Amino acid sequence: MRDIPLQTIAAWEERYGVPREWRHRQPVTLEDYTIIKGSQHHGRAHDITMYIEKDGRIAVIAKPFYPAGMYRTPSGGLHDGESLETGAVREAWEETGLRIRLARYLLRADVVFVEGAREITWCTHVFSATTDDTHIEAIDRREIREARWAAPSEFAAFGRLMRESTRGGLHYRALLQEQVAAIHPVFEIA
């Protein structure tokens, strides 16, 4: 079950296109489960993930606990009553310092995170976005250690590092990247 009403998602599809859908069950560690559960304030069960493009490169971020060389695309949740556009612009700014415009609804990933007998149902909404900005820098330094531009060809190495981790949440992010790479035109140049 999604925490975002179906009529809202239908409006997103009308504006940004119908995304590819992907369903997945992901085993996670107790640490992952606790982090995901902790992010579910006000019933939140989603994230908006953005592939922000500029000149054939994609904006990526590193969380403070990521090992050297591990990056992923920015993401975050919508606040209560916040529109997709307002929330995506806010999250992109906080994580990258970039002013963005959403372009296309690429992927809707319905995932169940599983830790033992416990489960969390989650939905990741993936959008492409563009920017006119070239300077990239994390604004929220508490949540983001670094933001930078990456070539599409670098994503394979990011995915390998995620898979080497013991964290199921990072394994999910690696799989999510692969799903997007299969459908997103920017990866055709990699």
- Which region among 30-39, 92-101, 110-119, 127-136 has the lowest average model confidence (pLDDT)? 30-39
Pick 3 or 89 by higher pLDDT: 89
pLDDT of residue 1: 40
DSSP labels, 59-115: EEEE-TTSPTT--B--EEPPPTT--HHHHHHHHHHHHH---EEEEEEEEEEEEEEEE
What's the CATH number of domain 6-189, 1.25.40.10, 3.40.50.970, 3.60.21.10, 3.90.79.10? Answer: 3.90.79.10
CA atoms in the 13 A half-sphere facing the CB of 23: 3
> What pTM does this model have?
0.95
